[in-house]
């Protein structure tokens, strides 16, 4: 049978067609606009997601035996606020994860409600990207729109609703709303009260691999599919991508070196660090995960090469880098401020330790190492609460660099596995659909059968020791500069 994973991203929707062995039978990408109505604002029209998803489905299925399609599920951009009225019409454009308008509401939640209280209710503190601050913003700035709200949902859930008619979300995506009691896997009445909403405005909660319904009859006819096609709840993009890399079950890890960088650690046990430096969320496998997100990862290397060195040949710039663990130059990778572990939008990127004998290679090396050191910062937080995987999957554009993979392996002292196939949240979505259809008994069983390792980078004890000394130096730089960052913004 065939299964479709829908990756609803910020710039495009990517659809993946897979069979239960993990073979990819086709992919289609459809773009849609991103709107910036004011500086710092970021919005999209949910109707565009749906239109392009349907167009993508039609293209994906053009030369396929449609009778073989059994299920559809999703991985989607998290945190975005989608609100519908009593007629199921979109009230206003969706406010996205990367929208920065809610600082006033974030400050209110963290400082007046209090971080300890928020953590008690939801296992997390407020960030500008989260959904609850957006609800408060609409309440304060668009009261007429707020009064019209009958349904509150996340981006991928809008697609699930349009395809199945079921008002649903999953635990992993709901964890990033600041409305979910993550430990007890239920909506937080206290947070609903704080936001001035009632629980009936929120979707029914499902496991990521759970069937929420079937394809609407009229859509099945339009697409040439059976009305028995299962729609599964899906997951937030990071959780779905983790499924696609086999990061499910206890003590597994995935590092993503994309535009932003994440370290994602799955666990059977619920855990929260004392400073809420990492997000504590439910996972698509039915358990939990810790996630750290740095706002600039591979984008640091892109900035350095494109804007400063004026080159697109990234590999050539890395060829002359040989003396690992001996660089005297350090780079703080905070080009966009930083989320994990500092939660400081005022943080900035810096080079430290430059001398007259510093070379171009030293600077390039520092950029790559800076991202790896910052990933170690997040890993150390997880270790402090007993989560310490000794190997990790790696994905994203930066993972294509053998040098960067070697740095990650030795700076974190973990084995780094590269998957054979990397199709991101779309692959994870298709795997969740397989479980919902009964092709596999669990998400873990699906991952064990489908995800394969292509190559592994193992840490070298001598290099680990050198990098340990460098990391101890690196981690003193941000605390020393924090007050300066706050003064120069």
Looking at the DSSP bridge assignments, the partners of residue 205 are 169
Distance from C-alpha of 337 to C-alpha of 112, rounded to nearest angstrom: 23
Q: Are strands 415-419 and 391-395 parallel, antiparallel or unpaired?
A: parallel
CA 149, 145, 164, 174 dihedral sign is negative
Distance from C-alpha of 35 to C-alpha of 55, rounded to nearest angstrom: 21
Vertex 183: Cα angle to 108 and 238 (nearest 5): 80
Q: Where are the beta strands (DSSP E) in 63-176?
A: 69-76, 82-84, 94-95, 151-153, 168-170
Q: Which two tokens stand for residue 38?
A: 């004011």
SS3 call for 180: strand
SS3 call for 30: strand
Distance from C-alpha of 78 to C-alpha of 223, rounded to nearest angstrom: 27
Distance from C-alpha of 136 to C-alpha of 116, rounded to nearest angstrom: 19
Token pair 């924090």 in the structure block, residue: 482
Q: Are strands 230-232 and 24-31 parallel, antiparallel or unpaired?
A: unpaired
- From 237, 273, 282, 417, active-site residue: 237
C-beta of residue 76 within 8 angstroms of C-beta of residue 232: no
Q: Cis peptide before 341, with omega less than 30 degrees from 0?
A: yes
**Nearest alpha-carbon partner for 261 in 370, 160, 116, 166:** 370
According to the annotation, is 407 in a ligand binding site? Answer: no
Size of the chain, expressed as the number of residues it contains? 489
C-beta of residue 79 within 8 angstroms of C-beta of residue 176: yes
C-beta neighbour count of 333 within 10 angstroms? 28
> What per-residue string of b and e applies to 194-229 under the rule 16 or more CB within 10 Å gives b?
bbebeeebbbebbbbbbbbbbbbeebbeebebeeeb
237 included as an active-site residue: yes
Distance from C-alpha of 295 to C-alpha of 12, rounded to nearest angstrom: 20
CA 18 to chain centroid, in Å, comes to: 22
Phi, psi of 280, deg, nearest 5: -110, 105
Q: Give the DSSP H or E segment for 433.
A: helix 424-436
According to the annotation, is 78 in a ligand binding site? Answer: yes
C-beta of residue 313 within 8 angstroms of C-beta of residue 206: no
C-beta of residue 80 within 8 angstroms of C-beta of residue 154: yes
Binding site listing for substrate: 78-79
Residues belonging to the binding site are: 78-79
Active site amino acids: 237
């Amino acid at each position: 049978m065939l299964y479709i994973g829908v990756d609803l991203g910020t710039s495009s929707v990517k659809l993946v067609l897979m069979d239960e062995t993990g073979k990819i039978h086709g992919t289609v990408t459809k773009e849609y606009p991103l709107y910036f109505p004011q500086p710092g604002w970021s919005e999209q029209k949910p109707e565009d997601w749906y239109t392009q998803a349907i167009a993508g489905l039609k293209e994906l299925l053009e030369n396929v035996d449609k009778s073989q399609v059994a299920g559809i599920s999703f991985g989607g951009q998290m945190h975005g606020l989608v609100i519908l009225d009593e007629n199921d019409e979109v009230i206003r454009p969706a406010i996205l994860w990367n929208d920065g308008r809610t600082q006033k509401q974030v400050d209110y939640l963290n400082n007046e409600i209090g971080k300890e209280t928020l953590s008690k209710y939801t296992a997390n503190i407020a960030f500008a990207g989260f959904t609850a601050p957006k609800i408060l913003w609409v309440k304060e700035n668009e009261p007429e729109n707020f009064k019209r709200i009958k349904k509150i949902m996340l981006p991928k859930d809008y697609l699930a609703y349009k395809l199945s008619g079921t008002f649903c979300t999953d635990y992993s995506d709901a964890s990033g709303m600041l409305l979910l009691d993550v430990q007890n896997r239920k909506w937080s009445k206290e947070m609903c009260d704080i936001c001035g909403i009632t629980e009936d405005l929120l979707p029914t909660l499902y496991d990521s691999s759970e069937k929420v319904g079937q394809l609407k009859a009229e859509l099945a006819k339009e697409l040439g599919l059976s009305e028995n096609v299962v729609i599964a709840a899906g997951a937030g993009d990071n959780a779905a991508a983790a499924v696609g890399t086999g990061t499910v079950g206890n003590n597994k890890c995935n590092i993503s070196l994309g535009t932003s960088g994440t370290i994602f650690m799955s666990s059977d046990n619920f855990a929260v660090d004392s400073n809420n430096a990492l997000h504590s969320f439910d996972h698509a496998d039915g358990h939990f995960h810790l996630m750290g997100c740095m706002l600039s990862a591979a984008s640091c290397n892109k900035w350095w090469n494109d804007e400063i060195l004026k080159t697109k040949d990234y590999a050539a710039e890395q060829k002359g880098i040989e003396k690992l663990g001996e660089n005297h130059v350090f780079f703080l990778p905070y080009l966009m401020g930083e989320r994990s572990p500092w939660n400081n939008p005022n943080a900035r990127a810096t080079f430290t330790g430059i001398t007259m004998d510093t070379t171009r290679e030293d600077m390039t090396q520092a950029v790559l190492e800076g991202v790896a050191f910052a990933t170690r910062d997040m890993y150390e937080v997880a270790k402090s609460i007993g989560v310490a995987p000794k190997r990790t999957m790696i994905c994203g554009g930066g993972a294509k660099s053998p040098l960067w993979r070697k740095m990650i392996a030795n700076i974190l002292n973990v084995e780094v596995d590269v998957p054979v196939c990397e199709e991101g949240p779309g692959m994870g979505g298709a795997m969740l659909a397989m479980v919902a259809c009964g092709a596999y008994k669990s998400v873990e069983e699906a991952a064990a059968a489908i995800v394969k390792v292509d190559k592994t980078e193992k840490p070298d004890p001598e290099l680990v020791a050198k990098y340990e000394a460098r990391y101890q130096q690196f981690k003193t730089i941000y605390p020393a500069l924090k007050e300066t960052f706050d003064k120069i913004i």
